[in-house]
Chain A
Amino acid sequence: MNATSYYLTTLLVYLGVDILAVWALNLQYGVSGVYNFAFIVFQAVGAYTAGVVTLGSPSQNGGFQHYILGWHLPYPLPVIAGGLVAGALSVPVGLVALRKLRTDYQAMVMLVLSVIATLVVENVTGLFNGPAGLSLIPQPLTNGVASSSLNYQWLYVGITAAICGVVYIFVHRVTSSPLGRALRATRDNEAAAEALGKDVFRLRLFIFVFGNAIAGVSGAVLVQFIGAWSPGSWLYVETLVVLTAIIVGGTGNNAGVMLGALLVPLAFNEATRYLPTIGRPGLIDALQWIVIGLLGLVFLWFWPRGIIPERRRRFARQAARTGDAPRAGEPQLADPVV
């Protein structure tokens, strides 16, 4: 029974992290049409930051790992720091990548950035400890509760849920406000949004930074739970998992992408880690990736708007007059595009 609870709590924390991630990427990709294929890099940055501001001096434990800072910040400062650093790093990246590039160029540049970031991290051992990454990252708020106990597991589930709640307030404020409307306008028709006086580049830069800050927070939550960080677990394909979750759940819909987070990264990626190994080592991993790829293709083909599609938004007066179904020939807002 204990083992089941342990397993369940671990999955719940992963789910919380995945939900934060899909909200963040959905703000960028789903709501604003910002094609951030480097998403995982910012999650990793947040995680790394949370690690190094809690690990203490690099010389402890015989100085077996190298990293910067080495502070001892009290909770929840490490999580906030993770978000701030990821957000700050997004500014120069966004300034370069979000310029007037075609959307697929943007995606490609971000993708390449993600690959390069992994390469750099693995090769600059002084900064990031190379491929080994960080370990022994202390878990927060362990006063009085043994960090390996089930009670602590549930405590961490609570912390994760609380952070999800706080982040949701921010996410909801953005998507339900005039700002969200402006972002959707830039996604659906960039030229029209610009003609109405919206500064498309600034809007995109804002959501890029904002989303990546949430990504940083989610990385921080994860790393403080598992206590380790290595560049190999933040490869560019992980961004594709988050994207697939968004597409499956419902692009542009906060509730939909939550469902996506439950279905894709959790059910496929995390739960299968506990399956017995069949065949040669790595076979399950390979099959899992094939399934993720197929899932994305199948949904883009059959249900490009996802399980819970984005609500079609209409002017209030028009919606009241026509009921739910729009009359033929009436001007409508464009369907969201993939």
Chain B
Amino acid sequence: MIVSASVLVPSIGFGLVTASILALAAVGFTLQFGVTNILNLAYGDVMAAAAFIGYVLNKHGASIAISLVVGAVFGAVASLLLNRCLYMPFLRRGTKLFGMVIVTLSVGIIIQNALLAIFGATFFTYKFSVGSQVHVAGMVFNGSQILIMGLAVAAMLLVQVVLTQTRLGKAMRATAANAGLAQASGIATDRVVDVAWLLSGALCGLAGVVLVLNTSAFQSTTGNDFLVIIVAAAMLGGVGRATGAMVAALVLGVVTEVAAGYISPSFKEVIAFGVLVVVLLIRPQGIFGQAAVERDLA
């Protein structure tokens, strides 16, 4: 196959947009896991729910900015409630790792089908102007794609600053590393966990809205369809590692879009899965992770 620049360069452009959405989603996913050790398989469905909330607002004349903000707030609150009212009680009751997988998956199925029951099995589109096209080094972006990339970069910087520069971030990382020790050292781990779910939920909601902004049409399963790539990015980056998830999102976003340009768009997830399998075989802890040991649940 001849690698021609006419396919490669625009594909990289698409890849950067996908990577931005993926970074928002994967960092949220990985944070939830890092701090509470829960693999939240309802994540994609919370994304879809946020997208639908944004859609309802948009349909009644709200601007995209409002949809984004409300989507993020919804994601934050919904995730906090999910963790407080469902996941944590199950953990305290002694549900083990795999039991939690069933719990989160059941929650996802419930959310997804509630959306289906409310909105029906058709496709939806936001009403907005995609803005004028911008050419950057052979890549073409429209206004909304620039917005998505800007949002992602800003959110990633913010997450990075919060995690590394603030006391809260330090407390979060301490809780993730060893919740018992963190609590013994005077960190209010319950509050830290709440904040972590708020923050990651906001990223989740934001990711949901930008995901559907970038696709021509969405439905109740759109968020869940994206979950495969989110999981792949989180595992590739080393589950629980925000920086790892960012880098992995960039890699996977570009690789899957370039592959889509050359092979077929329907194989994006297959390629993400291929990467995932290779990572699991060679380095199960992810590129940036430390050994994924079976540790206590928070």
Contact = CB atoms under 8 A, between A and B. Distances in A.
Report if A and B associate in a common complex: yes
A338 B100 CA distance: 9
A301 to B, nearest CB: 7
Interface in B73-100: 86, 89-90, 93, 95-100
Contact of B99 (A237, A286, A338): A338
Nearest to A297: B106
> What are the 9 closest A-B residue pairs judged by CB atoms, nearest first?
A338-B99, A293-B110, A293-B106, A286-B117, A289-B113, A286-B116, A286-B113, A293-B109, A104-B97
B293 to A, nearest CB: 8
B259 interface: no
Contacts of A289: 109-110, 112-113
Contacts of A283: 117
Nearest to A284: B117
Contact of A237 (B102, B109, B116, B277): B109
22 contacts: A35-B98, A99-B284, A101-B292, A104-B101, A105-B39, A105-B284, A108-B39, A108-B41, A112-B276, A119-B269, A120-B270, A237-B109, A240-B106, A280-B121, A285-B116, A286-B114, A290-B113, A293-B113, A300-B99, A300-B103, A337-B96, A338-B95
B146 interface: no
Interface string B264-275: 101101100100
Contacts of B117: 283, 286-287, 290
B292 to A, nearest CB: 6
A312 interface: no
A281 interface: yes
Interface string B193-237: 000000000000000000000000000000000001001100100
Contact of B98 (A103, A237, A292): A103
Contacts of B239: 105
B280 interface: yes
A108 B231 contact: yes
Nearest to B121: A282
Given A103-B101, A292-B106, 5 more contacts: A103-B96, A116-B228, A237-B109, A280-B120, A281-B121
A124 to B, nearest CB: 10
A123 interface: yes
B107 interface: yes
B287 interface: no
Given A282-B120, A304-B95, A107 B101 contact: yes
A290 B280 CA distance: 33
Nearest to B239: A105
Contacts of B112: 289
Given A109-B280, A112-B276, A296 B98 contact: no
Contacts of A286: 113-114, 116-117
Given A123-B267, A289-B109, A112 B103 contact: no
A235 to B, nearest CB: 10
Contacts of A300: 90, 95, 99, 102-103
Interface string A15-32: 000000000000000000
A165 to B, nearest CB: 30
Nearest to A289: B113
Contact of B292 (A102, A109, A285): A102
Contacts of A123: 264, 266-267
B1 interface: no
Contacts of B270: 116, 119-120
Interface of B: 39, 41, 86, 89-90, 93, 95-103, 105-107, 109-110, 112-114, 116-117, 120-121, 228, 231-232, 235, 239, 264, 266-267, 269-270, 273, 276-277, 280-281, 284, 292, 294
Interface string A98-139: 011111110111011101100110110000000000000000
Given A240-B106, A338-B95, A116 B269 contact: yes
Contacts of A333: none
A101 B235 CA distance: 12
A285 B221 CA distance: 14
Contacts of B231: 108, 112
B113 A287 contact: yes
B281 A104 contact: no
A96 interface: yes
Given A96-B281, A240-B109, A286-B116, A119 B98 contact: no
Contact of A112 (B99, B105, B232, B264): B232
A245 interface: no
Nearest to A33: B98
A48 to B, nearest CB: 19
B212 to A, nearest CB: 19
Contacts of B284: 99-101, 105
A283 B120 CA distance: 8
Interface in A232-288: 237, 240, 243-244, 247, 280-283, 285-287
A92 to B, nearest CB: 11
A231 to B, nearest CB: 13
A115 B116 CA distance: 19
A294 interface: yes
Contacts of B107: 293, 297
A89 to B, nearest CB: 15
Given A102-B292, A109-B280, A115 B228 contact: yes
Nearest to B93: A301
Most chain B C-beta atoms within 10 Å of own C-beta, residue among A240, A243, A285, A338: A338
A244 B101 CA distance: 12
A329 B95 CA distance: 24
A64 to B, nearest CB: 22
B97 A282 contact: no
Interface in A69-112: 96-97, 99-105, 107-109, 111-112
